[in-house]
Amino acid sequence: MGLYVDCALIEEVSRLCVTFPIAGVTTNPSILLEAVERGQRLRDEDVLRGLIQACGGPIFAQPVADSTDGLRAEGERYLALDPVRIVLKLPMTAAGLAAGRALIGSGARVAFTAVASLAQTYVASATGADWVIPYFSRLRHAGVDACERVGAMARLLARQDSGARLLVASVKSSADVVEAATIGARDITARPEIIRGLLDDALTTEAVTRFDADWRRMAETLGG
């Protein structure tokens, strides 16, 4: 399983990678906008360069254009930064699929994002995508049984044996992360606060507090 951080704030990603086993970074236009609004005044290419330095592993970048040619051109612009580390996230649309096929044919790693159905999962797998990205909470909010759907996607990819991995996004809690992992997601991406929250448990806090107290009592007893 790979745990990815869904964030474009370079300093925050860097801090998180010191503590957690972060496999890479996922971004999209909304995440880039959030980083700008929080004071990181960097263009997309500069953000990606910073993330490449801040964290090992794949850095997912999402081209935006209204045509196949436009998506391919934007994808190539990102790939020029680092063709090994950059993974292109493309929408599961006709234009995204066509651009993805061309980019995969030229050696790029591609993830199809906003995948919502088993049919789309099958097409992405057959195209040679490296990752298929469903939105866990968005499925749930749409009235879909997210666990059943994502689990079925994982089983389909396993049976196709195409090498495509399921990267579950839009998880909103530690419980979502555990659910996604339990039903077969090999990779999960989450916001920094959710990743930090994976360590929170009252029983752990209670145990550590007791250990600290006993250590101090031992030191005081021996010191006396």
Query: Which residues form the catalytic set?
Result: 89
Measured CA to CA, the distance from residue 145 to residue 127 in angstroms comes to 26
Question: Contact, 102 vs 79, CB < 8 A?
Answer: no
Q: 59: phi > 0 → left, psi -120 to 50 → alpha, else beta; which?
A: beta
Measured CA to CA, the distance from residue 196 to residue 200 in angstroms comes to 8
**What are residue 10's phi and psi, to 5 degrees?**
-60, -45
The letter for the amino acid at 21 is P
